[in-house]
Structure 1
């Protein structure tokens, strides 16, 4: 995909990025060798060729399998630094990073190992690339709610490093209400709240209603199925609850990118943002997702800039950083 100069240079904020989903096949081989793990593939190209998933469950199989090479703090540091190096030339300025502790603790890797490696990369990325970042701890919805609660309690000593909590993995049969008590406790501990409401799954609109009215999230990850209920669209527009859409990943797990829904929701006053989700698996980082909207949606540069500003608005960045980011975007557009 050819990325236009405007898209490449536009200052960007990413709010829906799974750090485990940035594990490129080349790094997977490197970490496997370091940790003495034999992979069922001979080359990185074979790994990429195996990505034939066409729905969320088939993607998750490959996603969780890939994590088996992540064992040490250095592994998580290298994973995150590889992501930061990839997006620095795309002018990413701020990112709120999802991580899945249960995907690691369930296989014997401690939370401390995960978070100390990620934290070291965050500090170095800000020093080297000027990219600010924060961590969002996600619970896996296909595990028990009790395991999520135990993970929440285990995270409390690391609260200065964790901005909020989220909910991801297989949504089928795992509605938001299953985790209502966990998220209530997280709110009481001072964590900010978001949840995945994946595209085109059975009962999606009911789950969206639940996260708004029952859980009380500050934003919704994916969530474009909200168009099925105009009343809910109005609610989130009025409350400033944003959606973190991921156009390229949508094409892998649903019937299209949902770019037209992004345009429709923006016209209705919803703060929709663009993000890369799991870019190593779906084949596009933040700039490629902006370019996908530009090409498919045939939108103006001003529209793309509005999406970037939406991300600033619904981010959980400090007010001073938000003001700086808005200034950078406005100045860039003025000079473009």
Structure 2
């Protein structure tokens, strides 16, 4: 069996994927036309050409501009459903997705409009494909903590449909400690909490997310390799990291996979998972991330199985379902090849 075929069949979870970052150019232009939104790009090729980012901020500028085509519940449904169909085709059995409500409500799109569309797509995916999913709402870190708390309260009518809350956006100058009260509130209400940290920000931001925000997972976490004590802490606690290798290359967090933090994080014994982040913008869905890393690092079938196991164990699925899916993965692994075939 080839690595590509193995990865396609590998049962796994995806834990770091922004719904707004999964809009393929074709759908983006279709939504712009449907909603009569004037955009800068007239065709797919010119839009794809704009995906040449210099850093995280240059990506975010285009990302937020692109959100303008999302106006109605059907728009959010179509984008979410398109991603979940692709995830199912890639062997994903459970997906935990991010949505940034503040970027939509500030445009006059009601939170209920966005949530109704996303949640209806999630229900369709479970009914039609057997793919379970969860939704995590992100506070934008360049905004104030008061705005994050306001977003949290606005979301409470949908609380039974929400998995958790997190922190996203431009890291530099916006440390996790800025949102300590927000995270405390989320935890007190029984939600799971995650935070983007250590992508462009320093290892100190990862430490703040763990020690001050008490997060359940770190999104990215690359910078952790700069702090040996932090690596030992993360290894001991097995706090999962949702690493996004191809995203890191496109945003120039790493110049190539050879110099990426991923091997060092794994060697340090951390619970690392592979994810796509914003797959349309970064040219790689979850299987692309697995395959390019396998090719770069020479991973064996057993190493890929371990990464898939990490993704299932790091998910926020109920414990019984987690163990059930790990057993399913183990059954797959028992029949898997020990080495790769040439074709």
Q: Within 2, Cα distance between the matches of 1:128 and 1:5?
A: 24
CA contact (8 A) 1:13 1:95 kept: yes
CA RMSD, aligned part only?
1.4
Displacement after TM superposition at 1:328 (Å) = 1.9
Q: Within 2, Cα distance between the matches of 1:198 and 1:278?
A: 17
For 1:235, the equivalent position in structure 2 comes to 233
CA contact (8 A) 1:240 1:314 kept: no
Q: After the TM superposition, which of the residue ranges 316-325 and 4-13 deviates more from structure 2?
A: 316-325
Q: Within 1, Cα distance between the matches of 2:146 and 2:23?
A: 29
For 2:206, the equivalent position in structure 1 comes to 208
> 5+ residue gaps in structure 2?
337-343
For 2:89, the equivalent position in structure 1 comes to 89
For 1:286, the equivalent position in structure 2 comes to 286
Q: Within 2, Cα distance between the matches of 1:328 and 1:256?
A: 36
Q: What is the TM-score normalised by the length of structure 2?
A: 0.94
For 1:149, the equivalent position in structure 2 comes to 149
* Paired positions, count: 333
CA contact (8 A) 1:94 1:131 kept: yes
For 1:225, the equivalent position in structure 2 comes to 223
Superposition pairs for residues 3-152 of structure 1, below 5 Å?
A: 4-152=4-152
Q: After the TM superposition, which of the residue ranges 255-264 and 274-283 deviates more from structure 2?
A: 255-264
Superposition pairs for residues 244-255 of structure 1, below 5 Å?
A: 244-253=242-251, 254-255=253-254
> 5+ residue gaps in structure 1?
none
Q: Within 2, Cα distance between the matches of 1:178 and 1:289?
A: 32
Question: SS in structure 2 opposite 1:215?
Answer: coil
Displacement after TM superposition at 1:147 (Å) = 0.7
CA contact (8 A) 1:3 1:287 kept: no
CA contact (8 A) 1:247 1:257 kept: no
Q: After the TM superposition, which of the residue ranges 310-319 and 69-78 deviates more from structure 2?
A: 310-319
Q: Within 2, Cα distance between the matches of 1:244 and 1:258?
A: 16
Question: SS in structure 1 opposite 2:17?
Answer: strand
**Structure 1 runs, 4 residues or longer, greater than 6 Å off:** none
Question: SS in structure 2 opposite 1:80?
Answer: helix
Displacement after TM superposition at 1:3 (Å) = 6.5
For 2:330, the equivalent position in structure 1 comes to 330
Q: What is the TM-score normalised by the length of structure 1?
A: 0.96
Q: Within 2, Cα distance between the matches of 1:297 and 1:217?
A: 29
For 2:255, the equivalent position in structure 1 comes to 256
